[in-house]
Amino acid sequence: MSAKYDESSFKVLRGLEPVRQRPGMYTTLDNPNHIITEVVDNACDEALAGYSKCITVTAHADGSVSVQDEGRGIPVGIHPEEGVSVVEVAFTVLHSGGKFDKASGGAYRFAGGLHGVGVAVTNALSTAVEVTVYRDGGEHYLRFEHGVAVTPLARIASCAKRKTGTIVRAWPDAKYFDNPNVNLPQMERALRAKAVLLPGVTITLNIGQTGESKSWCYPDGLRGYLAEALSDQELAAPIFTGERYIAREGDDTFVEGEGAAWALTWAEEGVITRESYVNLIPTWSGGTHDAGLREGVFHAVKSFIDLHNMLPKGIKLTSDDVFSRVSFVLSTKLLDPSFQGQTKEKLVSRNALKLVSGMVSDPLLLWLNEHIEYGKKIAEISIKQAQSRMKSTQKIEKKKGSSVAVLPGKLTDAAEFNPARNELFLVEGDSAGGSAKQGRNKEFQAIMPLRGKVLNTFEVDRDRLFANAEVHDIAVAIGVDPHGMHDHPDLSGLRYHSIFIMADADVDGSHIATLLLTLFFQHFPKLIVNGNIYLAQPPLFRIDIPAQGKKPLRKLYALNTDELAVTEDRLRKEKVREGAWNISRFKGLGEMNPLQLWETTMCPDTRRALRVELDAGSFLAAEHTMTMLMAKRESGSRREWLEFHGNEVTGDV
């Protein structure tokens, strides 16, 4: 490690270099599918806007992939600020594109491209990219090699003025991916799903190695796709489909055109099919729109059951009971969606839950009452699931009742004992603990407030661990004995599926979270390996936006200063007057009222918790790092590490 640390130590990554330095921040690295999908998404956005009826993807024998559409074609003129063609800007400048202006009159009203890094990432992680644009009566061509334009964009031929569109051919760079070849079955599935979501659009996949060609066009849209997926199953009811979008008049909360289309059904047995999309982007990990569908379906079915007095005495229905046997395809349109990560696998826009729930609930309830026979069949499936769940819970309670240690007095436990679902929040301070107790869902969430900072247990022997009252109470609450990474502990007594470390979003909170992570790493590592430990992500800022025209007063939250800056930029683009919004900084969790704490940090549908991950292969490296950071004898190594990484720290003053 060099002792030199001066002005020359600072590096500024420009152009596409940030992508090459940290490709995992921008795309998945198991194969190049995602960087090709970024190009496909642009073609689909043209189809979504109504300008393309045919999209062709070709996997060439040399490992390259090309995507062709019949859209408007990327603008070929010179960008007024960058001084090069717009095509070159799109492929070489991060955070550039035509999808930022979502207001009326913008190039795209609804689009999957949000951050302006899509095709620039494709270019950065490819050995070569060729772009052909048909526009303004000409064929225009540009080639990139290792992210750099070989020559400026040139018009190489004339074409009919009616002919428009874009062809992008990319050669993925093998050094960035575990497998350098495109996963064709995965690509095929993604393209077929795009065709479902774009009724009337034909999407074709050509495989150059075999000469095989496949095309998809679904005139029946979501219904036909779901029926095909469930063709070998016996359905309890016909597929229920619908679509609803916000009209211009009469809605102050959402924007014109926002809404959802869906197809869903129930089956008592068989594999469940669940797929969701936002502006044609597949959200494989679900998100708030999935949660909205779940909530809307639950309210409709619960209302039907109550109306027909079908619920047996002593049975309490939950959304999991109603939704456990549901298969669905959901396509949501949002003006300005927020995703978790650049790969957009999970939607985190909080307003999507309310939007989708409101769209689905009333039409489904009406359909159930118009089809009483099917409605009662669906109700019976839901009630049977509830009875099975409650029976299982009772068995667990009886088995454990006589042998469980006395739980800590400060633990406010969940109403139901269901280790497969229940959650425990280890909360910093009694004040925040009080808000968490009021804001939680009592059915499955437990709260345990911690006073002060937990002991650093990294060098504490296991037989002396319970001498500390806080550590003792945590161990008793979770129901698992301390153990090592190479032990085989009995985890059958684990009382909670998820354990959340919920500390303030400041330096002291980070310190407490670090001490708790040390406890779990050193003495309960199997809980981390099994994915039971999470870090809650409370926001640091609240932004109050005044009412604008038909838009009511809004409250937004930001996890940190970077997210605050992004939110303020978005407000400026929405034409909110500079300075009209008010920013409040939470000094701690205790400053949040119960509703705020629930919506931002505890609600499973809207929170953004981070799961702590550890596997056997990375344990030695993690142990080395933890020893350097937490062991008392390692103060010298710790000081060197802090001096080297000091420039990466942002002060919290």
Q: Indicate whether 653 pLDDT > 50.
A: no
Q: d(Cα 287, Cα 357) in Å, to the nearest integer? A: 13
Summarize pLDDT for 282-318 with one digit per residue, the tens. Answer: 888 889 999 999 999 999 999 999 999 999 988 889 9
Question: In this structure, are 637 and 550 located in the same domain?
Answer: no
Active-site residue, selected from the candidate residues 508, 563, 568, 623: 508
For residue 487, what are the contacts with CB-CB under 8 A and spacing of at least 6? 526
Query: pLDDT by residue (tens digit) across 384-394?
Result: 998 888 776 65
Domain end residue (candidates: 216, 240, 266): 216
Q: Could you tell me which of 225, 218, 182 has the C-alpha nearest to residue 203?
A: 218
Spatial neighbors of 145 by CB under 8 A, at least 6 apart, are 127, 128
Residue 220 bears catalytic tag:
no
Residue 15 has pLDDT above 70, yes or no: no
Task: Please give the residue range of the domain that contains residue 506.
Answer: 423-537+611-648
The DSSP symbol for 176 reads G
123 contact partners, CB below 8 Å, separation of at least 6: 16, 91, 92, 129, 144, 147, 170
Looking at the structure, tell me whether residues 503 and 467 fall in a common domain: yes
Do 533 and 569 meet the contact criterion of CB atoms below 8 Å apart? no
Considering the domain architecture, whether residues 527 and 546 belong to the same structural domain is answered as no
Let me know whether 544 and 532 are in one domain.
no
Among this protein's residues, is 508 annotated catalytic?
yes
Is 473 noted as a catalytic residue in this protein? no
Same domain for 340 and 307 = yes
Q: Are residues 99 and 61 in the same domain?
A: yes
How far lies 141's CA from each of 52, 154, 342, in Å?
A: 20, 6, 28
φ and ψ at residue 100, rounded to 5 degrees? -80, -35
Indicate the DSSP class of residue 541.
E
Q: Are residues 288 and 373 both part of a single domain?
A: yes
Cα separation values, 79 from 85, 101, 410, Å: 6, 16, 63
- Least trusted range by pLDDT, from 2-16, 159-173, 616-630: 2-16
**CATH number of 237's domain:** 3.30.230.10
Residue 300: its pLDDT value, please?
95
Which amino acid makes up residue 316? K
Query: Is residue 57 domain-shared with residue 200, that is, in the same domain?
Result: yes
Going by pLDDT thresholds of 50, 70 and 90, the confidence category of residue 197 is confident
142 and 90, same structural domain? yes
* pTM over the 0.75 mark: no
Q: Distance between CA atoms of 197 and 330, rounded to whole angstroms?
A: 9
Task: For residue 556, tell me if it sits in a domain.
Answer: yes
Lowest-confidence region among 207-211, 343-347, 498-502 = 343-347
Q: Which of 177, 198, 216 is the last residue of a domain?
A: 216
Q: Is residue 347 part of a domain?
A: yes
Tokens of 408: 């800590």
* Residue 390 and residue 272 in one domain: yes
Residue 346 lies in a domain: yes
* Domain contains 603: no
Q: With 90 as the cut, is the pLDDT of residue 109 above it?
A: no
Helix ranges, 346-402 (H)? 351-370, 372-400
Catalytic residue among 295, 504, 599, 605: 504
Q: How far is CA 23 from the centre of its chain?
A: 18
320 is catalytic: no
Identify the residue with better confidence: 358 or 21. 358
For position 147, which CATH number holds? 3.30.565.10
If one counts every other C-beta atom within 10 angstroms of the C-beta of residue 645, the result is 9
* Same-domain pairing of 468 and 368: no
| 408: confidence class by pLDDT, cuts 50, 70, 90 | confident
Structure-model confidence comparison of residues 250 and 196, the more confident one:
196
- Answer yes or no: is 416 within a domain: no
Could you count the other beta carbons within 10 Å of the beta carbon of residue 79? 16
Count the residues in the chain. 653
For residues 464-478, average pLDDT: 84
- Residue closest to 502 by CA, chosen among 634, 575, 626, 590: 590
Higher pLDDT pick, 642 / 109: 642
CA gap 167, 57 in Å, rounded: 10
Instruction: Name the more confident of 253 and 369.
Output: 369
Q: Residue 4 has what pLDDT?
A: 67
What is the per-residue pLDDT across 528-574, written as a single tens digit (0 to 9) for each?
999 999 999 888 888 988 887 777 788 888 888 888 888 888 888 88
C-beta pairs of 598-602 under 8 Å, 24+ apart in sequence: 598/439, 598/440, 598/441, 599/350, 600/538, 600/539, 600/557, 601/502, 601/536, 601/537, 601/538, 601/539, 602/425, 602/436, 602/439, 602/440, 602/441, 602/445, 602/502, 602/536
Domain assignment present for residue 197? The answer is: yes
Question: What is the domain count for the chain?
Answer: 4
445-450 and 423-428: which strand pairing? Answer: parallel
The amino acid at 581: W
> Cα-Cα-Cα-Cα dihedral of 462, 466, 471, 472, to 10°?
130
Q: Rounded to whole angstroms, how far apart are CA atoms 231 and 216?
A: 18
Let me know whether 249 and 180 are in one domain.
Answer: no
pLDDT at 102: 47
| d(C-alpha 421, C-alpha 245), whole Å | 34
Q: Is residue 12 part of a domain?
A: no
Query: What pLDDT, on the 0 to 100 scale, is given for residue 341?
Result: 64
pLDDT band at 625, cuts 50/70/90? confident
DSSP for 423-483, please give it: EEEEEESHHHHHHHHHHS-TTTEEEEEE-SPPP--TT--GGGGGGSHHHHHHHHHHT----
Q: For residue 595, is it within any domain?
A: no
**Angle between helix 288-307 and helix 351-370 axes, rounded to 10 deg:** 30
Q: How far apart are CA 132 and CA 140, in angstroms?
A: 6
CATH of the domain at 516: 3.40.50.670
**Of residues 506, 574, 623, 634, which has the active-site annotation?**
506
**What stretches of 15-101 show up as alpha helix (H) in DSSP?**
17-21, 33-48, 86-92
What is the percent of the chain where pLDDT is above 70? Answer: 89
